[in-house]
Amino acid sequence: MWKPELLAPAKNLERLQVAITYGADAVYLGGQNYGLRARADNFSPEDLQRGVTFAHERGAKVYVTLNAFLHDEDFSEFGDYCQLLEQLNVDAVIVSDLGVMRVINNCSNLKIHLSTQASCLNGYAARLWARFGVDRLILGREVSITEAGQMRAKFSAENPQAAPLEIEMFIHGAMCMAYSGHCTISNYTAGRDSNRGGCIQSCRLPYQLSSEDSTITFMSSKDLWGIYQVGDFFKHHICSLKIEGRMKSSFYVAMTCKAYRRAIDAYSQGELTPELLQEIAADLQSIPHRDYFSGSLETAAGEGSVFEQAAGNNTGTHDYLGMVLDTTEEAIAIKLVEPLSVGDKVEFILPHGQPINYQVNSLFSVVGEEINFMRKDGIVCITKVPELAQVHQLHLLRLSPSKVEITAPYSMVTGS
């Protein structure tokens, strides 16, 4: 059965490797210029070459963002950069500007995906962009799955000899309160242009309209999840399902990739049961997030889409503990992002199957000294026992909470 592509964010080479290890069919990332995430680590040419090689060896693709709003002075080295991307064998570039597209087409044979920043929201715009040679449309997040499917069907009916219109939609992640990210709050509050890679997420702060008014105004959106709409993406042949989050942690990348990989594969095999959906949704609850909602995937987002920060925090049910750096027959070396103590209960998150629950009975430094505690950002070793035989590099760990109450606008379960 046909399956949509699962597309994941890659802030850096580590995130790229984690995304593909945990099930992504493709990743999108930024180079050191021309993208909209200037504060991400971003990829040097050397890291990009390593990332493309890692991806292609595993049957995955790499898309590079060139979607910042460029001025004339930004083009002096742009053509050379496009030629470099072609030489590195990237699979496509993500673009929002017609002038940028023209330069790309003049100097390379790179495939072009239309950025969501172009705010393509209707079939007329979709057909126009296709005439300009765009290979895929990343629709604005204000479009529903049904509307996207209708765009695709109408294009095929009017162009029976043409290749089907590729449509990509966001399935998970943070949402912008502005239309397709066309926001200037960051410019006003910090002098940093969100449309040229400098957004500081000013909308996430609480605001008062005046010093005399004690009313707090929120402009931050709840987070998108489309886990309950996976079947609709299949029905309307949306070719790529995109996870937002190039500023997010490896934990976020791994858990979202694993969750949506499970859902996509299960649906394609007729095995996506309500019970499995609950289990997958619980995994998505484990990562840091605002309250979840379905965005405009079914109906237009209304006032209930606002995340009122006074009512909750950007938290998940579990804490990210660290990542496996290396394994031997005797030991597992872990890079910690939180402190770890003897006696802690942890979960190893594997790309497939259930987490491995493990109680830490002993810890060792990298020189073999037995210790009781390791600080965050340290490297620590544990003994490799038989139940951890499946654990390898790039596998993640999370701390086991004593009790987890999962709440959502759906029937959920209590887990640990």
In order of their start, the domains of the chain are 5-311 (3.20.20.70), 319-399 (2.40.30.10)
β 240-243/166-173 pair status:
parallel
Distance in angstroms (rounded) separating the CA atoms of residues 306 and 313:
13
What's the pLDDT at 361? 95
Residue 173 near residue 148 (C-beta atoms within 8 A): no
**Sign, CA torsion 333/339/343/347:** negative
Q: Which residue has the tokens 């190039």?
A: 246
Residue 280 DSSP SS3: helix
Residue 328 near residue 384 (C-beta atoms within 8 A): yes
Residue 246 near residue 201 (C-beta atoms within 8 A): no
Q: Which residue has the tokens 């162009």?
A: 159
What's the pLDDT at 312? 54
Identify which of 220, 223, 241 has the alpha carbon closest to the alpha carbon of residue 232: 241
pLDDT tens string for the chain (416 positions)?
A: 899 999 999 999 999 999 999 999 999 999 988 866 555 568 999 999 999 999 999 999 999 999 888 899 989 999 999 999 999 999 999 999 999 999 999 999 999 999 998 999 999 999 999 999 999 999 999 999 999 999 999 999 999 988 889 999 999 998 877 776 677 777 777 777 766 667 777 777 777 777 777 767 777 889 999 999 999 999 999 999 999 998 899 999 999 999 999 999 999 999 999 999 999 999 999 999 999 999 999 998 888 888 877 655 668 999 999 999 999 999 999 999 999 999 999 999 999 999 999 999 999 999 999 999 999 999 999 999 999 999 999 999 999 884 334 333 332 222 22
β 240-243/223-225 pair status:
unpaired
Residue 277 backbone dihedrals phi, psi, to 5 degrees: -60, -40
Q: Which structure tokens are listed for 335?
A: 């890079």
Question: What's the pTM value of the predicted model, to 2 decimals?
Answer: 0.90
What's the pLDDT at 403? 39
Bridge partners of 241?
A: 6, 169
Q: Which structure tokens are listed for 17?
A: 């490797």
Q: Which structure tokens are listed for 282?
A: 């619980």
Residue 44 near residue 298 (C-beta atoms within 8 A): no
Residue 333 near residue 381 (C-beta atoms within 8 A): yes
